[in-house]
Every structure is written in C-alpha cells, then in structure tokens.
Amino acid sequence: MNELHHDDDGHPLALIAMGGHAFMTGKEAGTIDEHVRHADQICEYLMSLVERDFHMVVTHGNGPQVGNLLLQNEMSRGDVPEMPLDVLVAMTEGSLGYVLQQSLLNQLRSRNLRRYVVTMVTQVRVDAEDPAFDAPTKPIGPFLPESDARRREAEHGWIIREDPQGRGWRRLVPSPQPRRVIQRDMIRGAARDGHIVVACGGGGIPIVSGPGESYHGIEAVVDKDLTSSVLATNIGADLLIILTAVPQVYVNFGKPDQRALSAITLAEIEQLMAEGHFPAGSMGPKIQAVIDFLRNGGKRALITDPATLPKAIDGRGGSHFIGKL
C-alpha cells in the first residue's frame, strides 16, 4: 500500500465524511440529547486519528435534520416566514457543526490535547446549467396528502412525486454536481495549521454564479459524499475516509456469494462500479466519491464504520482504496 504524503510539519491530512444518520438512528426521535450522545461516541473514535498525528477536516450529512426543518416550515406556514432550502442547509451546518465542535473539543480536553476546532458555514458552487435542474430526483421534506402537494405545486412550482411505498407525496429537488468549495483555502489553511475543521455540512450550501460574478443560493441538495470528495481534492488531502453503517464494502451484498473488499485498486473499483455492483441509493455515491478522489490524484481512501475506524487506520479493517502507484 502506498505511503501517505506528509505536509511540511510531518502530518498527513485526512478528510472524514460522515452521514446525517451518524447523529441519530432510524428508531430515535432526533432529540438534541440523542445527537450529542452519538456525536460524543463518533468523536471518540476520531481521536484515533489525532493520536496518530493526522490533521483533520470533518464533513457530515444533514438528511434527517433538514427534513425536520422542512416539516417545521410546513407546520408553521402562515405564522412565520418560510425559509428556502439553501438557508435550511446553512442552519443545519451551524447546529450540527456546533454539536460536533463541542464533542471534539471535549474529547481533546479530556486528553489534555491542545487543538482548536472550528465550524465553517460552507458554500459549494454548482453549475446553473447542470442537467439535474431539468430533472429533480431528490425527495425532501415531509410526506404530504396529495391535495396539499398539488397546492404547493400550483402555488410554488414544486415538482412532486408519490412515494413508491404509498406514504404520501413529497417534493423533489435537483441534486447537481459539486464543482468547487468556496472556502477551500480557509479550510486547508486552518487544517494545515493543526486545527480540526468541520465543513460542508449536508453537502454544503449550493450556490450559482450570477451577473458580475455574484453568488446566489439555489434550492437544491448536493450529495455530501461527492462534495467531500471535491473538498478532499481542493485541499490536497492525503486520505479520504467515508464513515458508513457497515465495516467494509461488499460485492453482491446480502447474497450467498457476498464478498468483502479489503484492499482494492482504482482500476478494480472502477470495473466493479461499471458492472453495477453499487446501488445509486446506498453505496453508489460513496464509491463514486472515492473514484473521483483517486482519479484527481488522491493516494488513498477508506470506507468503514466508526467503531472499526481505529483498527482500519492501521490496516486491520475497513475497505482500502489505492490510487495510482
């Protein structure tokens, strides 16, 4: 396995991407106490990187949390002004960033380690001509009765679709490709100085360029794993880590011939991706994020679950992806 590059201070830089479900399980209500408990646990696992002298950037999802804010929008309609989706993403960047920031600081303080933690509200530029804007596919927000959904369609121009499982109707929004993280230089500088940076929550706030190179928020959802890959490339990360619910990536998952991937090259994972082994709704975006990172010069990537991370960093678990040798 090829060696990680070290920066001028001798520290490799890792970007760790975690999902919004890292803060809660499917059976939980999503209270702040539950968020803090899960964040404390996952941040304890992240200390294995600190103990190995990594510099770190942490990204996270926000699916359940932004869904709750959309539900609040719906329930308070007519009483308070409705907030657009880009603003809701910014709100979750702040709230979840605060939870992670405090958990990380507490873990550092308990070990008498002197590092600072900062959360950045992060904008991600997308292309206004991205084909995704012509075909919204990402369901967001609460399930609505058809009559309510049709009214939103007429009043606000929503694109709506009935849930395949019959749970109601939902709004669909575009999911364009991330092109560039606006705050990349600040993130890179802070991380290279040894600070832990929490950034690109929920895939970052999607923005497009307008007249005079001005930026404007747009109602869309950027895939968090793809944004994490772009940011990892932007900041010159040595290692991209994607934390998920399983300890390894599997081929033929759930079938009798299921096979775990321990170490695999870029060419090999590209072939498996082309063969359709990784569904778009689950592992697919994570594998694509890894492929993009390695294609753009990244040396190594790792997919595992939080509990396996300490062992996986030492090569004793997880799925390791190796770039060009």
> What CATH number has the domain bearing residue 33?
3.40.1160.10
- 3 state DSSP class of 7: coil
Are 141 and 266 members of one domain?
no
- In terms of domains, do 157 and 297 share one? no
User: Same structural domain for residues 90 and 194?
Assistant: yes
**In the structure, what pLDDT confidence band is assigned to residue 152 with cuts at 50, 70 and 90?**
confident
Residues 235 and 313 in one domain: yes
The total number of structural domains in the chain stands at 2
Exposed e or buried b per residue across 113-141, where buried means at least 16 C-beta atoms within 10 angstroms of its C-beta: eebebebbbbbbbbeeebebbeebebbbb
Task: Identify the domain containing residue 99 by its residue range.
Answer: 13-125+178-322
303 & 186 share domain: yes
Q: Are 280 and 273 in contact (CB under 8 A)?
A: no
83 Cβ contact list (under 8 Å, min separation 6): 69, 73, 91
Residues 295 and 166 occupy one common structural domain: no
Q: What number is the average pLDDT over the span 55-80? A: 91
Statement to judge: residues 197 and 162 lie in one domain:
no
- Whether 239 is covered by a domain: the verdict is yes
Query: What is the CA 73 to chain-centroid distance, rounded?
Result: 23
State whether 259 and 289 are in the same domain.
yes
Co-location of 58 and 44 in the same domain: yes
| Residue 1: band (very low, low, confident or very high) from pLDDT cuts 50, 70, 90 | very low
Q: What is the pLDDT of residues 169-205, one digit of tens each?
A: 999 999 999 999 999 999 999 999 999 999 999 999 9
Same domain, yes or no, for 235 and 194?
yes
Residues 50-62, mean pLDDT to the nearest whole number: 96
Same domain? For 300 and 163 the reply is: no
Q: Do the beta carbons of residue 111 and residue 43 sit within 8 Å?
A: no
| Residue bearing the bigger pLDDT, 24 or 187 | 187
Q: Is residue 131 part of a domain?
A: no
3-state secondary structure of 171: strand
Cα distance between residue 108 and residue 320, in whole Å: 27
